[in-house]
Amino acid sequence: MPALSGTDVASYRTFRPRAARVVTLTLAVVVLTLAGLLIAFMPGLNTGDRVGFALVALMIAAFCWRQGTVRARVDDNGVTVRNLVYTRRLEWAEIVSVRFGSGRPWVQLDLSDGDTLAVMGIQRADGQYAQAEARRLATLVAQHTETPRDD
């Protein structure tokens, strides 16, 4: 396999949201910190209450961490989309189009089987950055799905 040029390396970087990562990971730290302070300094809590506070804080932090780590990784063979609940691997040929119209919170892939897949790694909350990332993903799809007779 030939070495990738600087442009190729840049176009293959992982798609990650900016605002959602900062907000959710910050929220996870705040929740864990506040729960720790409540457990340590709130008088009258019995052991069950302390365990309950800790479990709820850990569940909230786990949810925030998962939301903060959504992404889409691209390589020569396709895309691996990690969303909030699941991760799915797609070959380039399975992707028909990339949509990011108004009102959509994140990029949506139209797939060859008639299904759609949200790509939470590119989120409208990121504004112009998200628009540029959607164009970059659409360009990669177009490059990898070209045929000699592109009809």
Q: Which residues contact 45 (CB under 8 A, 6 or more apart)?
A: 38, 39, 53
What is the model's pLDDT at position 102? 79
pTM: 0.81
Outline where DSSP puts E strands in the chain. 71-74, 78-82, 87-91, 95-99, 106-111, 116-123
31-41 pLDDT, tens per residue?
Answer: 999 999 999 99
Averaged over successive runs of 10 residues, the pLDDT of the chain (151 residues) comes to 55 91 94 95 92 96 94 95 96 94 90 95 94 95 75 52
Whole-number Å distance between alpha carbons of 133 and 105: 14
